[in-house]
Amino acid sequence: MESRRDASIAYYQTGSTAPTPPAHKRHASTARPHATAAATARLDATRTQVWTETKEHAAARAAHMASDLKNVTRKWEEGNKVLGHVQKTNVARPRALLTVGDATSARDVDQKMPFTSNMWVARRACDSGSQALLELLEVRALGHATPNTSERFGEVFSACREKLENVAKAIAHCDAHAFDLCDANVMFLLGAGPPPTIDASEPVEHSTKTAAVFSALMSLPKGVKLLARFARAMPATAAASPLLRAVLETPRALNDLYFVDHDEELHAALRADAFAARVPFKTLVALVDGLLAAPSLYELVQAGDDLAARPDAEPKLADEWKCMRE
């Protein structure tokens, strides 16, 4: 024992390095980096976007397994004479416990239907708008992962255009602007082309419900964040819609309704060239007082100055803009 201890002391005093143990005797920690790298690679593979048929196959497989489990449970209950049955719940598919009609189905105009207040309007818009934006983000990621020379790139192109239309209907309740649906913009969103040319947009047709939805969204922090994402994803549709009017004219009586971080994110999206340069000149003239009172949106005032200085600008609107600026 003493000779072994003396040998160990002499070994460390000489400063020698420890010999490398054989591969079969190495500690498991030496192989851990390789295992971690492999696990990371598998995790990255699971994060890769998949095609629609893959999702449908996975959903059908899960439904088949759930049906088999339900049948086995029912047979076991019948064989063991079970008196009661507990219905299993699925958080992804909640049961409808209450059916509420649409507000337009009310016979009496003075009668206010439940779940039709601004808060519920904003909640429904947040739910449907967020779902539509996530679907658009998924298609964009799939487009970036698919070469534009692939045979399936056409499917991604059509799906991206369809998702853009869904985003416009879910958030703004209007049709998407032609600039957002043009081939150049779709190719840019899919990472297969340069940014499209920026030009002023013509107002799109929208109903009075659009402005009401925007005003309701301005009362919630997640609603303001949703509008910022909408302005970045579809700048032409957002610029041609009543979004800017809702941002400037929505009353906020209480200080706790001012969401600093989210408002800054929304104002940053409105200051971007993709949005500011596409706002119709008529809209800027109508909102010039609010723009001059909002220092964080001065880029929109500069966009109005540029449009007023253009030779093809309408003389009446240009003169009105210059008078208001002075």
Q: What is the pLDDT of residue 42?
A: 42
170-205: pLDDT as tens digits: 998 888 888 899 999 999 999 888 888 876 656 666
Token couple for 8:
């160990």
How far from 272 is each of 84, 297, 306, CA to CA, in Å?
61, 10, 15
| pLDDT at 98 (0 to 100) | 63
- pLDDT (0 to 100) of residue 308: 86
For residue 232, what pLDDT is reported?
93
The pLDDT tens digits along the chain (326 residues) read 445 545 444 444 444 444 444 444 444 444 444 445 544 444 344 444 666 677 778 888 888 888 888 888 888 888 888 887 777 777 777 776 666 555 544 445 455 666 777 888 888 999 999 999 999 999 999 888 888 888 889 999 999 999 999 999 999 888 888 889 999 999 999 988 888 887 665 666 666 678 888 988 988 889 999 999 999 999 989 988 889 988 888 876 555 446 778 888 999 999 998 898 888 888 888 888 888 888 888 889 888 888 888 888 888 888 888 888 87
Q: What is the pLDDT of residue 252?
A: 66
Can you tell me the distance from the alpha carbon of 277 to that of 233, in angstroms, rounded to the nearest whole number? 15
Tokens of 102: 């649409």
Q: What is the pLDDT of residues 261-271, one digit of tens each?
A: 888 899 999 99
Residue with the two structure tokens 């390789």:
34
Residue 186 contacts residue 161 (beta carbons within 8 Å)? yes
What pLDDT sits at residue 145? 87
* Model pLDDT, residue 40: 47
pLDDT at residue 55, rounded to an integer: 75
Residue ranges of the alpha helices (H) in the chain?
A: 2-13, 32-47, 52-79, 118-145, 153-167, 178-181, 183-189, 208-217, 221-233, 235-240, 243-249, 260-271, 273-276, 281-286, 288-292, 298-309, 315-325
Global confidence as pTM = 0.69
Question: What amino acid occupies position 54?
Answer: T
